[in-house]
């Protein structure tokens, strides 16, 4: 009998829509299926919480952040030491 294991940690992509007072993050899997959403205020504590939340969903393949030269700047600076960010 052949046994198939599906224990691979899912690879996820996080997209962050940045605004002045709140950012919205959406997590999708490798098939672009939405697996979670998180709204957060624009503070360093909340940024760290977003990264923790994302890591609980699976292996992070990429972060994409909108507005890295304006409202997304704070998050981008906070996240950069942990790995490269996509900056559209």
- Give which of 6, 64, 56, 5 is closest to 32, Cα–Cα: 64
Please give the model's pTM, rounded to 2 decimal places. 0.72
Distance, CA of 7 to CA of 5 (rounded, Å): 6
Domain presence at residue 5: no
pLDDT at position 22 is 87
Kindly report, residue by residue over 42-85, the tens digit of the pLDDT. Answer: 776 777 788 888 889 988 888 888 877 777 777 777 765 455 45
Q: Is the pLDDT of residue 15 over 80?
A: yes
Domain span holding position 34:
11-82
Total domains in the chain come to 1
Domain presence at residue 6: no
In this structure, what CATH number is given to the domain that contains residue 65? 3.30.420.40
Domain presence at residue 59: yes
Domain presence at residue 4: no
Going by pLDDT thresholds of 50, 70 and 90, the confidence category of residue 35 is very high
């Amino acid at each position: 009998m052949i046994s198939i294991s599906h224990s691979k940690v899912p690879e996820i992509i996080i997209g962050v829509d940045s605004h002045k007072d709140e950012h919205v993050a959406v997590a999708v899997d490798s098939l672009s299926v939405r697996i979670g959403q998180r709204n957060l205020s624009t503070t360093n504590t909340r940024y760290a919480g977003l990264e923790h939340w994302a890591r609980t969903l699976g292996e992070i393949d990429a972060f994409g952040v909108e507005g890295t030269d304006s409202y997304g700047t704070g998050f981008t600076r906070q996240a950069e030491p942990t790995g490269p960010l996509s900056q559209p």
